[in-house]
Amino acid sequence: MIGLDALGVVAGLLPATVALHHALDRTRGATRWRSAGFWALFAVTLIAGPWLPDVVNGLLVLGMVALATLGLRPGAVRTTDDATRAASAARLRSALFLPALCIPAVTLAGTLLFPDGIVAGHALIDPKQVTLVSLAAGAALALMLAIRLTRAPRAAPAGEARRLVDAIGWAMVLPQMLAALGGIFAMADVGRWVATGVTTFVPLDTSTSAALAYCLGMALFTIVMGNAFAAFPIMTAGIGLPFVIQRFGGDPAAVAALAMLSGFCGTLLTPMAANFNIVPVAALELRDRHAVIRVQAPTALLLLAINVAIMAWFAFPKGP
């Protein structure tokens, strides 16, 4: 049955390819081994992490930290030249968007067609991971379609992957690291301490104040941690469940959805969310590293205020 372990193997192919690309690049001399080692260790954690002892996984992460501290210096990557890209873009025009559109289309189709993970009468997919498996399938199909459309050389995907990964650097692993940190915080009962601190300064004696504390807390914790999924268990255990849901009777489904959306507002405001705010800057080679955040900030703040209002007015059976 296809589950998270199989998805980890698929995800690990990217850093493994980048590591191999660095190792084979003789133009960079000995410095290439730092980058090759970093991405190779990352690949091992994704591919073999579930079967390795926790101590070994921890040592692998410490090795990545050491190599990143020494510096991951990007090198020149030979891919298609500007003239070839311009000619390809002129030929394909709007068809260039087909690979990108393939990913959400396949993800949605797989989620709706195989909700129980049963394909042709066989239980092939873990029902809890149908969406992620569909996403991985969509990404694979998008890659094949892109190669077919652009008629790129066989080595182009690996070269372009390394070029983009080098531009992003170690920040590419932040989502995984921050999600793990959120799990550690949840196990350490940080949510209870958060609740104690919040109630010391903010009296949660009404449903409106509880909704405000929950939504703002989700946004602020996400800004600090860079990942709304990491902030969610902490804030839900500390404020969402005991106050918003249990004390004031908030609808669990509505409250959870609005809390996550509030966390995503925080995602738009922090450089810690590397996959959202650092990757576009690196990909577009922008001079201002906070350019994406500056553009997103007004929308994030407005949406956060709307989330608070919706939760306060509609998530409770008796209203605010």
Please write the tens of the pLDDT for every residue from 242-271: 899 999 999 998 999 999 999 999 999 998
Give the whole-angstrom CA distance, residue 96 versus residue 89.
7
Question: Do the Cβ atoms of 109 and 134 come closer than 8 Å?
Answer: yes
Per-residue pLDDT at 212 exceeds 80: yes
DSSP state of 248: T
Give the whole-angstrom CA distance, residue 56 versus residue 51.
10
- Tell me how many degrees the CA angle 121-122-125 measures, rounded to the nearest 5: 125
Token pair in block for residue 138? 């969509």
pLDDT at 250: 92
Tell if the pTM clears 0.75, that is, is over it: no
Average pLDDT, the chain: 85
Token pair in block for residue 179? 């999600």
**The residue type at 234:** I
Please write the tens of the pLDDT for every residue from 125-152: 888 889 989 999 999 999 888 888 888 7
Give the whole-angstrom CA distance, residue 227 versus residue 229.
5
The tokens 């918003």 sit on which residue? Answer: 244
pLDDT at 120: 78
